[in-house]
Structure 1
Amino acid sequence: MNPQLPPVAPAVTAQLVAALTPRLRKRLDGGVVKIAGRPVTRDGDIVRIAVDDDTDLELHVSDGAVTSAEAIRCGCLLAPDCLHRAAAASVAPIAEPAESSAEGPSPTEPPRTAPPVPTPTTAPAPATAPPSASASAGAPPEDLTPESATPAQCAAAVALRDAAAAVLEAGTDGAGAVLQAELLRAAHTARLAGLPRAAGRAVAVVTALRAARDADPAYRLSDLTSALRDVLVLAHRIPGATGRNLAELRGSARQPYRPDGSLRLYGLFAEPVLTATGYAGTVTWTADAVGRLCTVSDVAPGGADRATGSADRAVRIGDTSLTHRELSRAGLAVSGATVSPTGRLGAGAGVRAVRAAGASWHAEPLDRLWAVPVAEQVSRALASAPAVRTAYDGRDHRDGRDGRDGRDGRDLLFLDVTLLGTVREAAGECLVAECEGLTVRLAAAHDDPALPHRENLRLLASARGTRLRVVARLTPAPLPRALLLAASHPTDPGTRVDLGVDRLRRADLPAAPVSGTAQDGQARNPRTARTVPSALPVDEAPVHLLRRRVHQAVSGGRRVLAFPGSRDAEVARLRRHGLGTAGELLAELHATAAERERDPFGRLLPADTGRFSHAWLGAAVYTEELDRVLCAAAWGASPGDPATDPRGERRTPVPPGEVRDAGRSVGGAPAIAPPFGAGRRSIG
């Protein structure tokens, strides 16, 4: 992907690739590589690519993006049926939908912002579907027929499923421009059918595929796996969903804003946003008098420079001149406020805001956020995860260009910790702290060197024994783990440090380490030891055996799992640990990968991509749910709602080591039936 090129609408890329002859389609990936390396110049709304000394390729930009196939023009002899136009569209960034392309707030309606945040102490209002005609006419609710997916939506879901299955079959190396265009076409069809969430996740798959094929350092296999899983889950569930469940699966292209009167807000912290999809900025979190979280964000297309500089830009609410950095420590009095269902503050023409006094983390109303027990906070975070759980991109809408669900704040943890040191992990060093008897690993929220997360983490590690009040974002893992976002100052508890915005200095640390603490039952001298010993070996469920195969299928395609290997040993190991369902799913995944039929002449027939994607999806969803329950067990929390279950009955936290699979006790595995009927056979 060439960031110098203007974004191109998904439908344009799909149209140009579909118009190519079979011979040119085979050469498309080579054309993409060639176009990506050619010089680019811009003259107003025209971007030119020098294909060779005599041929230029022009992209005509309208409203910041290329929105039609005719806007890409080539000067070669074969135009408009040449390869160059499709290659240029395939190498350019993907344009977001027109309804969410506005960068600034509209004078008459609230701007799109980071998702609104429900409070840890106040349950968020449930989303309600628009009333039907019969409801508005006064018909009783029991007489209403639940809304079901339309034929167009069912057809779009099938197209998404087939396109995503083809990508999974090929893997990242085989999913070239042609398969990407097919998925973009399916995404465009889904958006036209009223499925913005599925369309957004499909676009996220294409974005991750391009990053993988370009060897982009920001590429993460876990992100691609998550996006591909979400597309298949949505495609599987939408045709049979009804009512509110269908509304949630469809999503919305833009969150509505509702009037919320006057608000008195207190700055909590600010975090930078820098995504692999080309968005950057700052999101500032605030809390009102009852602890409800709201956000003010400034996120737009950009890179690391925008992520680091936007913190010193004025917030776009009312006439206030507060910057995001200042608002994170000050307060805001807002009249005529508008708030989206997820907590994002609107900035319409009728909103007025002035600066007000802030509050310390140790004073009301912010102190009540830390008064909630840790297990209850973790239960709330796990219960808030929707059916399609995705990563945070800092944007204001749930189903935008990436289709990524915005955070609503329920995954934030407010912890009082004592720093112990660091522990080495595969991804680098991780800060270790003690919190209510638990040993918690606090990792950097972002690894980009332009942001100070990693540097601040290293400095805090040298302040062993220091007691801090921190804000972190829960990371599902078999061990207590979270991403560190903000912390109280090591020498002045009355102030705080936004670890992605501010930079700590050696002078900010205590003059001498505080007295030693213990980790994993071992006495330590903080003056001489820096790295905390790793935890003692435990009887940990070998979930990684299934997760590794799920990731390998995404990276290498079906053929990687078809090779003979240690599958029988892995299945047996899962069963020995009581993970019989995981063993069944792993065996089914390998079996469908290796299953190929031949015609009467002995030639291999096309593989059954549907069955393989079905088996892979079962394993992927099971693994995600297993991680969720293991995380709850590690924190001593409930994996569901912290107070009640769907029947309204009181829940109790899950004691560590009492999670079960297929009726067998395991040291950390959940009692989850295999999804979609996969692997439901009894285990002897």
Structure 2
Amino acid sequence: MTTLEGPPMTDRPRIAPDLLAALLEAAPARVRRKLDAAPRTAEEWPWSCGDGTWTVAAGGETVTLTGTDLTEPGHVACTCLLGPRCLHLLAVAGLLDAVEDDGPVPETSSTPPASASTDPLTEVVEVDPAGRAAARAAWDAAARILAAGVRSAGSGPRAELLRASALARAAHLPRLSAACVAVAAGPRDHPTPAFDLSAYVADLTDLLDLSLRLGGGPAGDRPPPTRADVGVARRAYGEVGSLRLYGLGGERVVTASGYAGVVTHLVSVSDGAPRLWRVADVAPGDADRVTVAHGSRVSFGGIALSHRDLGRGALIAQRAGASADGRLSGTSATTAATIDPIPWDEGPLAALWERPLADQVADALAALAAPTRRSGSDLVFAGFSVVGPHPEGVEVVETREGRPHVLVADGPRDPLRARNLARIGLDRGTVLRVMARPVPERPGRLIPLTVSGLTGLPDTRRGRLDVSLDTLKWADPVPAAPTTAPAPLPVPSPRAEAALARVLSRFAEAGRETVSVDTAAIARLRAHHLPTGADLLTAVIAAARERVRTVTGESVVPSPDGAAVAWLAASTYLNAVRARLHALAWAG
């Protein structure tokens, strides 16, 4: 049996949104007020696990959670006389993450075979009445929590969002369901250091935009929903026929929400055009799970390859299954057999390195700015010559155009990649081929996934290093100081749009009542040639401060729809401006 006090465990049970919503709605108002005052009280209680059952010592009472996925009322219990409508059970259940959307998927959501020139995510879809009802419920809940502000939102608005998530899940709208759950975590996390206001604003923008596209919000014209808006459930796989797949490499995944594992990237070639795919093993867990997943067997067509070997191998798959966004999965009819792999600079793999890096980066930045993207659309492939160590990683020069870049780690939770880069930086003059991902807000910075061209690698690695998964067999060096100052890299211009971002963030955190006229911000936007931003900010302020007269002459706050529409328009514009600034900075 394991026992824990303090931070949440990544292997705690997960709760269905509709069950948590029902528990919150059934609780007496006085209990909900206590929960709203301290939504993370249960963090301080001892949690114990044994034989698939969790028990939480809540003072003199005990909360019991049965199973890994809590979907029915019988899965949660408390010894309290008020249970299950007691504070003990609600405090415990409120800390749990939501059950993933992995239920059955209707036939219409299978992925049809597609050529490399088509993108199934752009296919226009029809939303049925149940889906439109879920979208309306999601919009109403999101508009109300925006109007009140996450700081004041409590268990009531959270229950509305969770109920909308359950409706979306039942209507086979996995992306809308997940968006509701993401925003619903805001009221719970706001009093803690775990809350990130910028991430919450992004989640709220995504939820409002998505629910509007799917049929929520006020009447009016809206773009037709696509498969990207619907999302891809975990089991939404359709047959894509036969594929000749070549492994490109893998990367570690460790998320703040408690998931960890490995993603392996592959490429197939059809009609002369390369098409990228991925095979993932990501599940609840911490960083220790990455090593296990890297060496575990891939469940795909009966092959006996680990993720480590698949990233360097090759295979032929018959009747392969795939999702619309490029995730591969073996169906009951899938068969696969290994074939001889090829180097990166030969045959169909060499085509990935033929496009100019600037064009690849532009496409990758656009993909990273989109809420949904196809596998591999955010990756770039380029050749670099190592200049030497850099304070952020490794300074390199692009071999075709001679432009400087820096290979960097993905933040402080990426120590292995940082150590490997420190060692690579000592091999000045080495010419590398790199599969990487650009960092939008840091021009010239690339996060390398896999590199080839290093000397001294074991034969089993076939000349490649998965930078976040493999360890270079040399002693960890002390990075040498650069012999010359690194070449200056382009940086974004002063953030003129920051004035708009501050108002939108204040609105989302504290509600419409805190928004005041900000003539200085409006003037700054116009002075920096962002007149549309100034107009949208003016509209947001007007909508937040709007009052209407009742038949008796009283001044009251109107429906939150108008303010939500104005806020969404301004937030969407802000994201577009930032994406454009990032693209311009990368282009130099």
Same fold (TM over 0.5): yes
Q: Where do 1:549-560 residues align within 5 Å?
A: 549-558=503-512
Corresponding residue for 1:573? 524
Q: Structure 2: how far apart are the matches of 1:48 and 1:476?
A: 44
Task: Please say if 1:363 is aligned against 2:363.
Answer: no
Q: Structure 1: how far apart are the matches of 2:475 and 2:12?
A: 44
Q: Which runs of 5+ in 1 are unaligned?
A: 102-108, 130-145, 391-404, 514-525, 637-655, 657-684
Q: Where do 1:107-126 residues align within 5 Å?
A: 122-126=116-120
Deviation (angstroms), 1:249: 2.6
Please say if residues 271 and 283 of structure 1, whose CA atoms lie closer than 8 Å, have aligned partners that are also in contact. Answer: yes
Q: Structure 1: how far apart are the matches of 2:549 and 2:428?
A: 65
Task: Please say if 1:456 is aligned against 2:411.
Answer: no
Change in Cα spacing, 1:286 to 1:252, as seen in structure 2 (3 Å) is closer
Deviation (angstroms), 1:280: 1.6
Corresponding residue for 2:378? 411
Q: Which runs of 5+ in 2 are unaligned?
A: 1-6
Corresponding residue for 2:498? 544
Change in Cα spacing, 1:348 to 1:58, as seen in structure 2 (3 Å) is same
TM-score by length of 2: 0.83
TM-superposition CA deviations, 1:142-191 (whole Å, max 9, x none):
xxxx9764444333223212222333344443344433222111211222
TM-score by length of 1: 0.72
TM-superposition CA deviations, 1:315-371 (whole Å, max 9, x none):
222343322112222222333433333332222333333333222222222111011
Determine which of 566, 570, 574 is the counterpart of 1:619: 570
Task: Please say if 1:168 is aligned against 2:120.
Answer: no
Q: Structure 2: how far apart are the matches of 1:251 and 1:241?
A: 22
Please say if residues 456 and 504 of structure 1, whose CA atoms lie closer than 8 Å, have aligned partners that are also in contact. Answer: yes
Change in Cα spacing, 1:619 to 1:26, as seen in structure 2 (3 Å) is same
What one-letter code is carried by the residue in structure 1 that aligns with 2:203? A
Change in Cα spacing, 1:527 to 1:278, as seen in structure 2 (3 Å) is closer
Q: Structure 1: how far apart are the matches of 2:418 and 2:511?
A: 34
Corresponding residue for 1:271? 251
3-state SS of 2:225 partner: helix
Deviation (angstroms), 1:577: 2.3
What one-letter code is carried by the residue in structure 1 that aligns with 2:252? P
Q: Structure 2: how far apart are the matches of 1:221 and 1:191?
A: 26
Deviation (angstroms), 1:79: 2.9
Q: Structure 1: how far apart are the matches of 2:491 and 2:258?
A: 41
Q: Structure 2: how far apart are the matches of 1:325 and 1:43?
A: 33
What one-letter code is carried by the residue in structure 2 that aligns with 1:542? A
Corresponding residue for 1:499? 467
Q: Structure 1: how far apart are the matches of 2:165 and 2:69?
A: 18
Q: Where do 1:35-50 residues align within 5 Å?
A: 35-50=42-57
Change in Cα spacing, 1:72 to 1:474, as seen in structure 2 (3 Å) is same
Change in Cα spacing, 1:358 to 1:222, as seen in structure 2 (3 Å) is farther
Q: Where do 1:173-252 residues align within 5 Å?
A: 173-207=151-185, 210-216=188-194, 220-239=196-215, 245-252=225-232
Corresponding residue for 1:142? none
Identity of counterpart residues, as a percentage?
Answer: 34
Q: Structure 2: how far apart are the matches of 1:176 and 1:482?
A: 40
Determine which of 9, 32, 44 is the counterpart of 1:25: 32
Please say if residues 445 and 485 of structure 1, whose CA atoms lie closer than 8 Å, have aligned partners that are also in contact. Answer: no
3-state SS of 2:151 partner: helix
3-state SS of 1:253 partner: coil
Change in Cα spacing, 1:555 to 1:472, as seen in structure 2 (3 Å) is farther
Task: Please say if 1:309 is aligned against 2:264.
Answer: no
Change in Cα spacing, 1:247 to 1:505, as seen in structure 2 (3 Å) is closer
3-state SS of 1:355 partner: strand
Please say if residues 574 and 580 of structure 1, whose CA atoms lie closer than 8 Å, have aligned partners that are also in contact. Answer: yes
Deviation (angstroms), 1:294: 2.2
Q: Structure 1: how far apart are the matches of 2:62 and 2:547?
A: 46
Change in Cα spacing, 1:97 to 1:258, as seen in structure 2 (3 Å) is closer
Q: Where do 1:69-88 residues align within 5 Å?
A: 69-88=73-92
Q: Structure 2: how far apart are the matches of 1:507 and 1:362?
A: 30
3-state SS of 2:70 partner: coil
Determine which of 58, 64, 68 is the counterpart of 2:64: 58
What one-letter code is carried by the residue in structure 1 that aligns with 2:202? S
Change in Cα spacing, 1:99 to 1:420, as seen in structure 2 (3 Å) is same
Q: Structure 2: how far apart are the matches of 1:202 and 1:166?
A: 13
Q: Structure 2: how far apart are the matches of 1:385 and 1:123?
A: 20
Deviation (angstroms), 1:538: 7.8
What one-letter code is carried by the residue in structure 1 that aligns with 2:86? C
3-state SS of 2:246 partner: strand
Task: Please say if 1:378 is aligned against 2:380.
Answer: no
Please say if residues 596 and 604 of structure 1, whose CA atoms lie closer than 8 Å, have aligned partners that are also in contact. Answer: yes
Q: Structure 2: how far apart are the matches of 1:439 and 1:536?
A: 10
Please say if residues 334 and 354 of structure 1, whose CA atoms lie closer than 8 Å, have aligned partners that are also in contact. Answer: yes
Please say if residues 426 and 479 of structure 2, whose CA atoms lie closer than 8 Å, have aligned partners that are also in contact. Answer: no
Aligned residue pairs total: 565
Q: Structure 2: how far apart are the matches of 1:421 and 1:353?
A: 42
Q: Structure 2: how far apart are the matches of 1:261 and 1:148?
A: 26
3-state SS of 1:174 partner: coil
Please say if residues 116 and 340 of structure 1, whose CA atoms lie closer than 8 Å, have aligned partners that are also in contact. Answer: no
Please say if residues 113 and 241 of structure 2, whose CA atoms lie closer than 8 Å, have aligned partners that are also in contact. Answer: no
Corresponding residue for 2:4? none
Change in Cα spacing, 1:68 to 1:466, as seen in structure 2 (3 Å) is same
Corresponding residue for 1:487? 451
Deviation (angstroms), 1:541: 6.2
3-state SS of 1:24 partner: helix
Task: Please say if 1:282 is aligned against 2:262.
Answer: yes
